[in-house]
Structure 1
């Protein structure tokens, strides 16, 4: 999910486990965050990973949360800026320049529901 309203990238347990990551891969992160339900959540740590989107790769600092989410990860303003991306929530698209052409990611309306 792309969320323009926050300043951190979040990784949830399904992706963390799916990537085979372990607690020793994490560095500490001491600031609590507020979840979608308004409750405080204490992150289990943070890590930096390369993320490939189309033909472009950027390093992303993820805060790893041990909380339920229908998403595996949420990318936010830092990722958008690193990509040089322009999001459209209306069209469920993110467009970015890669080499000499514009690439786009297209979201799924059914997944959003």
Structure 2
């Protein structure tokens, strides 16, 4: 059964857009909204605030000697790592998260390792992650949430003190 993306599927997407793929996932038996799917990330990232909201026992954190390197070149030292069950597309996988003291607008970031292990194909244009069911009988989709993307954008604007979206382009 091949995985395909057709033009007709764009009817459920607000276009044009340049939105990242943001979904909801079940992590540690809790529904977590505003999960950024990032094929460019080598790790799954959990902000400390999400760790606290999931009410995970801090004793479950394991020391890691690894440092994270952001796209801005800054190094971030994780508080630790934690392994949690992630349920998506009829698959339950134990995933390792680097818990970091950051304040992003996203609640989790799922990296390319998870995308590979869950055997998903993300399409940012179509705002969907698609895979074949474990038994091979059907295609399963996790749709992106463009409203949540806009919420994240507003949170970022407030945090940076910008307050509202720019009204002029750089060319003007």
CA contact (8 A) 1:2 1:76 kept: yes
Greater share of strand:
1
Larger gyration radius, structure 1 or structure 2? 2
Counterpart in 2 of 1:110?
Answer: 147
State the alpha-carbon separation in 2 of the partners of residues 32 and 3 from structure 1: 18
Of 118, 121, 126, which residue of structure 2 is paired with 1:83?
Answer: 118
In the TM superposition, residue 37 of structure 1 has moved relative to its aligned partner by 5.1
Counterpart in 2 of 1:71?
Answer: 106
Q: How does 1:1-113 map to 2 (within 5 A)?
A: 1-35=36-70, 38-98=73-133, 99=135, 100-113=137-150
Could you tell me which runs of 5 or more consecutive residues in structure 1 were left unpaired when the two chains were aligned.
none
What RMSD in Å do the two structures reach over aligned CA positions?
Answer: 1.6
In the TM superposition, residue 58 of structure 1 has moved relative to its aligned partner by 1.1
Q: TM-score, normalised by structure 2?
A: 0.61
* Bigger shift: residues 30-39 or 43-52: 30-39
CA gap of 1:36–1:18, structure 2 versus 1, over 3 A, is farther
In the TM superposition, residue 18 of structure 1 has moved relative to its aligned partner by 1.7
State the alpha-carbon separation in 1 of the partners of residues 65 and 125 from structure 2: 35
CA contact (8 A) 1:13 1:72 kept: no
Paired residue secondary structure (1:51): strand
State the alpha-carbon separation in 2 of the partners of residues 3 and 72 from structure 1: 13
Paired residue secondary structure (2:148): helix
